[in-house]
Amino acid sequence: MPIETPIKPIPSTLETSTLDIQGMHCASCVSRIERSLKKVAGVSDASVNLATNRARVVFDPALAVSKSLIAAVEKAGYGAVPAPKVRAFVNKPERDFALLNLIGAAVLTLPVLTLSMTWMMRPVWIEWILAALTTLVVFGFGRQFFAGAWSALKHGGAATMDTLVALGTGVSYFFSLAELIWEPHPSVYFETAATIVTLILLGRNLEARAKQRASDTIQSLVALSPKTARLVTEGGGEVDVPLDSLNPGDLLRVRPGEKLAADGIVTDGASAVDEALLTGESLPIEKAVGDAVIGGTLNGSGTLLYRVTASGDQTMLASMVRLVEEAQGSKAPVQKLADTISAVFVPAVLGVALLTFLVWYFALHVSLAAALTPAVAVLVIACPCALGLATPTAIMVGVGRGAALGILIKNGEALERAHKITRIVFDKTGTLTEGRPVLTDILPLGAADRDTLLRLAAAAERGSEHALGQAIVIEANRESLSGTAESFRSHAGGGVEATVEGKQILVGTVTLLTDAKIVVSETALAHIARLETEGKTAMLVAIDGAAAGVLAVADTVRPGAGSAVDRLRKMGMTVALLTGDAPRVAAAVARTVGIEDVQASVKPGEKAAAIHLWQKNGAVAMVGDGVNDAPALASADLGVAMGRASDVAMEAADVTLLRADLNGVADAILLSRRTLKIIHQNLFWAFLFNVIGIPLAAFGLLNPMLAALAMAFSSVSVVTNSLRLKSAKLG
């Protein structure tokens, strides 16, 4: 059965807004914000991501506006601002403040913990010093927990991670303070309250830094763009200008070792351009007049003049950044389980903590302090943070790793779906092949040698706009063989006729020559038959009424296509070819790359139907590049577009390969498999942590301070495990 993918396209009347969320710390926060946003009239969908601290809202602008969305978040007890187009994951002032907060708490907690652990029979005045230090830690450096808990209570009464921390530390603190005031020999737990706050602050700092690493891809992409561009003025002078002042048509110069400022077309010069950080290409690409260049790439040893075709938000680099950010902030279907559990997790933990206290105090008849200790441990050990981070951090790193390899993944759902693929269907032209015809064979038949044959045929074809003729001209230019036609005539569907250097030249089909009463030898016909069997288009060349040679043109197979197909087959994939080309040509390409399942002469509308038939036997990925592939790409369980694909094809696809390397298909599937493996590991450990930790705490086998340490590092471990994707081998 095909994978169900209920992806609803956003109607043109709806808009999408992205908000930066402030004050969110756990999966319960995510659920509260999503519920609040979905209650706003006109909101079609709302998705909040804990790893990126962002909300993506789809809404009808006629019914809802940005202010109403922000108000809904604030009503839930959090802050929200419209997200900038590109931003640092954690801004430096915020990160520095969090670090200073941690250092301050640690400096004050150290003497509290040291004196409490080493000086058992201490005088009461020392207890008052410990109380004062703890007060500063809990309500000074730890005030964010109480503020968050109060905000949650004030805005609907829902409980969050801040509620658990505030209750745990508050109970320890106020019980100790009451003991100190009313008991001559108090039993105090100031060190527990102070240590819990400090350890949780430590965990949040480590978590934030780990999440920062998970977003490194965005930062590396943003850093690719230079600050200024060197604009060539009308008078031939040069001036440095900011990037946002560039417009299509501007002429720019880039010198050796500099980054290109915008997308464009080279008008003068030649150089090798390093596109590795943007497309994953390992070697610099040679660029000359007429070649396209990409903003953010690094120029080599030559100087280039190029005409801007896209600048600012319209460049390929800016599009990549937007796509990666949106994909990193999206949710995968596997996260639904975690979201469902998170919605009831904190209330359940509060119930368990209360039950723990009641059992210890009333059933086991222990002291109030002894009954509070396991209840506090239950509150502190519970960790919806790890549960909320298990999926989004893995998606963030997986999408980022794909971008670094030149694989753009549209969203988390596509990343998850890719691992279920069992059949890969390739288009032919522009996918398995280069997408442009090249001259492959030059076979002289008469007195004319190879170079003469090519030179005269190219001169005759210079007036033709046909792709086959242009392939001959391009090869002649490459070999510096020039000639000029004195007259030219095109025969529709047959070929061309021209006078070159006083000679009458015909280039075209057998019919063109026979109609001109030119004898075509058995040798020539045998050459043509063989070449056509190889999937090539053969043309005869006649000079002054005599057949002089055979030329063959073909759309050549991409380098490495055969090895890529073989790699997919070894991964357990069934590979097929689906093309509108003639059966003979399709069969020749299929033989070359090692594909046995071939469907040829398929019309664009029929491609989607073919995909649907294959889906009855499993999940199907379609790899294509043209407008005619768009229906099939959209119908497939996973659509993969080549980097030079049409805009329509890339829009319909779930994955875009920036490199002209079909190994990216296998890499995308392997990346999906690795990501899903990491997600399952994260969810397993997040569940196991709570399944084991909460009972241990309830049975009094876990000290609250150890519980705080374990809770703090559970979130860090989930993010750290996700970061393994950055170095995972895909080969």
The single-letter DSSP state of residue 259 is B
Write out the two tokens for 593.
Answer: 């790359």
Residue indicated by tokens 């109609």? 515
Rg (CA), the chain: 34
In a 13 Å sphere around the CA of 307, the CA atoms on its Cβ side amount to 7
Q: Is 350 helix (H, G, I), strand (E, B) or coil?
A: helix
For residues 305 and 255, the answer to whether their CB atoms sit within 8 Å is no
Phi, psi of 691 (to 5 degrees): -60, -35
For residues 49 and 394, the answer to whether their CB atoms sit within 8 Å is no
Q: Is 49 helix (H, G, I), strand (E, B) or coil?
A: strand
**CB-based contacts of 696, cutoff 8 Å, min separation 6:** 381, 702
Strand segments (E) across 271-403: 271-274, 285-287, 292-293, 298-299, 304-310
C-alpha 637: how far from its chain's center? 18
Comparing CA positions, the residue from 130, 133, 176, 170 lying closest to residue 148 is: 170
Phi, psi of 264 (to 5 degrees): -170, -175
**Cα→Cα distances 615→414, 622, 717, Å:** 16, 11, 39
Distance CA 427, CA 631 (A): 12
β partners of residue 542? 506, 547
Comparing CA positions, the residue from 528, 445, 460 lying closest to residue 491 is: 460
β partners of residue 442? 551
Distance CA 322, CA 410 (A): 10
Write out the two tokens for 294.
Answer: 């990409």
Residue indicated by tokens 């790899």? 623
DSSP 600-641: -S--HHHHHHHHHHHGGGSEEEEEE-SGGGHHHHHHSSEEEE
Strand segments (E) across 275-377: 285-287, 292-293, 298-299, 304-310
Torsion (CA) 713, 718, 720, 725 in degrees, nearest 10? 170
Distance CA 249, CA 306 (A): 9
Q: Give residue 662's identity as a one-letter amino acid code.
A: L
Q: Give residue 652's identity as a one-letter amino acid code.
A: A
Write out the two tokens for 547.
Answer: 């057949």
Q: Please confirm, yes or no, whether 427 is among the known catalytic residues.
A: yes
Distance CA 544, CA 700 (A): 103
Residues 263, 339, 427, 581: which is the catalytic one? 427
Distance CA 524, CA 534 (A): 16
**CB-based contacts of 332, cutoff 8 Å, min separation 6:** 391, 395, 412, 413, 415, 416, 679
The single-letter DSSP state of residue 447 is S
Distance CA 117, CA 419 (A): 52
**Residues classed as catalytic:** 427
